[in-house]
Amino acid sequence: MTKKYLLWLVALLVAAGLVVLLYRTPPQQWDSAKRLGEFIDSLGAPGIFIFLMIGAAATSIGLPRQFFAFAAGFSFGVIGGVILSSIGAIAGCALTYSVSRKWLANHVYKRFPSAIDSLNRLIEKDAFFKIVVLRMQPLGTNFLTNVCAGVTTISPGLFLASSWLGYLPQMMVFSLLGAGVRIGSSAYMIYSILMLVISVAIGVWLYRRHILGQQMSRQQNT
């Protein structure tokens, strides 16, 4: 087995194992997410607005968007959970980005100069594509990315659109988990595993495609 295929296999196994672990032995925060889902569900229609406000405010200060996707899936079902949790997450992203750009730019650059310089180099070309891939990764510094992006040259529209698209796979995964816990369905766990595996695979494929494209471009220029 070549190194490339071994890397793919390890990535997919880790993704599948992570979902199984979360479902079989949910950490304390999933119990909290379940309670939030129950509370929102008890409010009826106004719960939608309250959920969006809580989700936007919480994710803007760094709380995990997966938590709210789980709660939304539990309360609103899979489709509603994906839609509402992604709206809340992108609203929180926009809030952090805007505050960073308008009021904290100098302080943020002094605090994270290397991170901002790295992000500027990353988005110099194919910014939309790279942000999508960055957001698709299961383990990422979402809050730090939002803060630093506000100080970079990337436009708000491009940053938010690419972030929203990159958020969707994980929102689907955790909404499925939340909905599965609500109805006690093991099938939803299987769907969530498949979604996470697919999202990781797409992320790896897109990244490798970009790297190969860069290599071919350099070869043509030499």
E strand map for the chain: none
pLDDT (mean) for 177-198: 72
SS3 state at 146: helix
221 is a domain residue: no
Q: Looking at the 3D structure of the chain, how many domains does it have?
A: 1
The share of the chain scoring above pLDDT 70, in percent, equals: 68
**Phi and psi angles of residue 63, each rounded to the nearest 5 degrees, phi first:** -70, 145
Contact of 177 with 188, CB cutoff 8 Å:
yes
Average confidence (pLDDT) over 63-74: 92
User: What's the confidence (pLDDT) of residue 213?
Assistant: 57
Q: Kindly tell me if the per-residue pLDDT of 7 is higher than 80.
A: no
> Which pLDDT score is estimated for 138?
63
**Is the pLDDT assigned to residue 104 strictly greater than 60?**
yes
Is 79 part of any domain? yes
Look at residue 222 and tell me if it is in a domain: no
Whether 67 is in a domain gets the answer yes
Instruction: Give the residue among 64, 72, 86, 80 at the shortest CA–CA distance from 34.
Output: 72
Confidence band of 133 (pLDDT split at 50, 70, 90): confident
CA distance 101 to 69: 27
At 37, the pLDDT band (50, 70, 90 cuts) reads very high
Stretch among 41-50, 99-108, 205-214 having the lowest mean pLDDT: 205-214
Q: Which of 27-31, 155-159, 182-186 has the lowest mean pLDDT?
A: 182-186
Lowest-pLDDT range, 33-47, 70-84, 131-145? 131-145
Whole-number pLDDT of residue 181? 80
Numbers of helices and strands, H then E, in the chain? 10, 0
Q: What is the mean pLDDT of residues 27-53?
A: 89
Residue 19 lies in a domain: yes
Is the pLDDT at 216 greater than 60? The verdict is no
In a domain, 220, yes or no: no
| Residue 158 pLDDT class (50, 70, 90 cuts) | very high
What's the rounded mean pLDDT across residues 48-68? 94
Closest CA to 222 of 214, 196, 182, 130: 214
Residue 172 lies in domain: 3-215
Single-letter code of the amino acid located at 171: M
The predicted structure's pLDDT at residue 50: 95
How far, in Å, CA of 42 to CA of 46, rounded?
Answer: 10
DSSP 8-state secondary structure symbol assigned to residue 14: H
* Separation CA 136–CA 165 (nearest Å): 9
If you search the block for the tokens 């709210």, which residue do you land on? 68
Contact assessment for residue 68 and residue 33, using Cβ atoms and an 8 Å cutoff: yes
Give the three-state DSSP class for 176: helix
